[in-house]
Amino acid sequence: MRKILIVGAGQSGLQLALGLQSQGYEVTLMSNRTADEIRAGRVMSTQCMFHTALQHERDLGINFWESQAPRIEGLGVSVAAPDSTRAVDWVGKLDGYAQSVDQRVKMAGWMETFAQRGGQLVIHGAAVSDLDYFSRTYDLVLVSAGKGELVSMFGRDASRSPYSEPQRALAVAYVHGLGPRPEHPDYDAVRCNLVPGVGELFVMPTLTISGRADILFWEGVPGGPLDVFQGVKDPSEHLALTLELMEKYTPWEYARATKVELTDANGTLSGRYAPTVRNPVGRLPGGGLVLGVADVVVANDPITGQGSNSASKCAASYLSSIVERGDQPFDESWMRQTFDRYWDTAQHVTKWTNAMLGVPPEHVLGLIGAAGQLQPVADRFANGFNNPADFENFFYDPEKTAAYLASVTGA
Ligand SMILES: Cc1cc2nc3c(=O)[nH]c(=O)nc-3n(C[C@H](O)[C@H](O)[C@H](O)COP(=O)(O)OP(=O)(O)OC[C@H]3O[C@@H](n4cnc5c(N)ncnc54)[C@H](O)[C@@H]3O)c2cc1C
């Protein structure tokens, strides 16, 4: 059977490794950390995944935590007014529920499953020189190493990357003890709180090492009042800062957070990166070719919570392309076609995410405001997180937005 090397054991690498393994491919997975190191390490994401991405996991039978993870049935948006009241506040219902399973739990578990099923797991931080060697012994080398150093093998695609600098400073805290949402306590929802000109606070339930928890996630405009986490090493100081900013900018979320404590000493994360689309094919010094996967080739800012969703969709799309290739060579033209097939979906995520990073135009403000009065608009916006391609129909173009709102009101 064909031999495939996958470098990087995150959402995309593991999902692809398990998928190929179940189809009989001889898969080697290279990870720079063991499952135990991942489990005992720092949180990596907020990893909220919507229906389509979760379905890809179900299709492979690797949805091991589905019954334990909170079911996120709605997505709420609040916009802060200058006096820190809520100028806008609504919740859209998701057609299919979303879930967040701490990547420490999921990646460690999937890695163990891969090894138990006979997969070859190599614990090694791969360098370009390693890949040069391996590209000669494998039919295909896939690089799914996230935003790590190996991305330097894949040139930046300037035409698809409007930003060359990070657009948000990120600060995450996993907590126990958060009170229920005041407005709809009967079901779980992601809460997106927009503070114009300052940044966004996302709050969502997750399944972590110690069971159910909630995540408090600030995205701050660089250089602004939320960009204060860099250099904060003490996790309790990180949490105190998170809460202080919530009290000031989103007091309605702070009101339910007064009793929270960190889930564990590794329950905080801060950082920033520039959203970047890359050339999908990397050429090794010895002439071999490697194909980039998920964040390696399309890394979006987490403002729209799409990276893990995209990683799942990329893994599913690449799996189909590999299987459909049969015994034919995985040459450069196949690699480009494989990426283009994924880009059909990914381009909508990149377009929408980059739009959300900018200052919203008047018609978008009107749309978000209208969702407060019109439940179908709130529902459609919420379900756009599952299928960002739908935003083409009512989000970017003022005329389409107006026509859509008129169709809902019957005007
Ligand atoms: C703060 C934050 C919040 C987020 N929230 C969400 C959200 O709510 N919803 C969502 O969908 N997405 C979210 N994302 C994005 C999401 O986490 C990523 O896009 C997703 O994990 C990417 O998956 P991946 O498989 O491409 O890479 P990763 O998950 O990054 O996996 C890459 C793996 O490769 C390993 N690796 C790196 N270099 C090497 C090497 N040289 N050799 C071997 N192994 C290597 C890494 O250690 C890692 O295990 C968020 C991201 C951040 C930072």
In short, whether 192's Cβ falls inside 6 Å of ligand 1 is: no
227 and 143 in a single domain? The answer is no
Please tell me the distance between residue 8's alpha carbon and the centre of ligand 1 in angstroms.
9
Average pLDDT, integer, range 190-194 = 97
In a domain, 390, yes or no: yes
pLDDT tens-digit series, residues 202-218: 999 999 999 999 999 99
Please tell me the distance between residue 146's alpha carbon and the centre of ligand 1 in angstroms.
5
pLDDT tens-digit series, residues 345-392: 999 999 999 999 999 999 999 999 999 999 999 999 999 999 999 999
pLDDT of residue 183: 78
Domains of the chain: total = 3
Q: At residue 321, does pLDDT exceed 80? A: yes
Average pLDDT, integer, range 246-269 = 97
Confidence of residue 77 (pLDDT cuts 50, 70, 90): very high
pLDDT of residue 344: 98
List residues bridging with 27 in a β-sheet: 4
How far apart (Å, rounded) are the C-alpha atoms in residues 82 and 344? 39
List residues bridging with 291 in a β-sheet: 142, 281
From the CA of 150, give the closest atom in ligand 1. 41
Please tell me the distance between residue 295's alpha carbon and the centre of ligand 1 in angstroms.
7
Average pLDDT, integer, range 68-72 = 98
From 44, 149, 207, mutation site for ligand 1 pocket: most ligand atoms within 8 A of C-beta: 44
186 and 331 in a single domain? The answer is no
33 and 141 in a single domain? The answer is yes
How far apart (Å, rounded) are the C-alpha atoms in residues 109 and 271? 26
In short, whether 41's Cβ falls inside 6 Å of ligand 1 is: no
From 295, 304, 312, 353, mutation site for ligand 1 pocket: most ligand atoms within 8 A of C-beta: 295
How far apart (Å, rounded) are the C-alpha atoms in residues 381 and 345? 18
In a domain, 67, yes or no: no
Percentage of the chain with pLDDT > 70?
Answer: 100
pLDDT of residue 182: 75
Average pLDDT, integer, range 108-132 = 96
12 and 139 in a single domain? The answer is yes
**271, 290, 317: which is the final residue of a domain?**
271
Please tell me the distance between residue 13's alpha carbon and the centre of ligand 1 in angstroms.
10
In short, whether 144's Cβ falls inside 6 Å of ligand 1 is: yes
Average pLDDT, integer, range 229-249 = 97
33 and 151 in a single domain? The answer is yes
pLDDT of residue 185: 78
pLDDT of residue 1: 80
In a domain, 219, yes or no: yes
**271, 288, 313: which is the final residue of a domain?**
271
Phi and psi, residue 370, nearest 5°: -60, -30
pLDDT tens-digit series, residues 126-175: 999 999 999 999 999 999 999 999 999 999 999 999 999 999 999 999 99
305 and 353 in a single domain? The answer is yes
From 5, 46, 99, 141, mutation site for ligand 1 pocket: most ligand atoms within 8 A of C-beta: 46
pLDDT of residue 282: 97
401 and 318 in a single domain? The answer is no
Q: Which string of DSSP letters, residue by residue, matches 22-90?
A: HTT-EEEEEESS-HHHHHTS------EE-HHHHHHHHHTT--TTTTTSPPEEEEEEEEE-TTSSEEEEE
pLDDT tens-digit series, residues 222-236: 999 999 999 999 999
**271, 300, 327: which is the final residue of a domain?**
271
Range of the domain at 159: 3-62+102-163+275-357
CATH number of the domain within which 137 lies:
3.50.50.60
In short, whether 49's Cβ falls inside 6 Å of ligand 1 is: yes
From the CA of 30, give the closest atom in ligand 1. 43
Please tell me the distance between residue 271's alpha carbon and the centre of ligand 1 in angstroms.
13
In a domain, 18, yes or no: yes
111 and 92 in a single domain? The answer is no
From 30, 47, 52, 273, mutation site for ligand 1 pocket: most ligand atoms within 8 A of C-beta: 47
Phi and psi, residue 359, nearest 5°: -75, 125
In short, whether 48's Cβ falls inside 6 Å of ligand 1 is: yes
pLDDT of residue 31: 98
In a domain, 328, yes or no: yes
Q: Judge whether 44 and 85 are in contact, CB under 8 Å.
A: no
pLDDT tens-digit series, residues 272-311: 999 999 999 999 999 999 999 999 999 999 999 999 999 9
In short, whether 275's Cβ falls inside 6 Å of ligand 1 is: no
In short, whether 353's Cβ falls inside 6 Å of ligand 1 is: no
pLDDT tens-digit series, residues 28-45: 999 999 999 999 999 999
312 and 210 in a single domain? The answer is no
79 and 173 in a single domain? The answer is yes
Confidence of residue 410 (pLDDT cuts 50, 70, 90): confident
In a domain, 255, yes or no: yes
In a domain, 231, yes or no: yes
pLDDT of residue 19: 98
In a domain, 35, yes or no: yes
158 and 170 in a single domain? The answer is no
pLDDT of residue 101: 98
78 and 136 in a single domain? The answer is no
Q: Average pLDDT, whole number, for the chain? A: 97
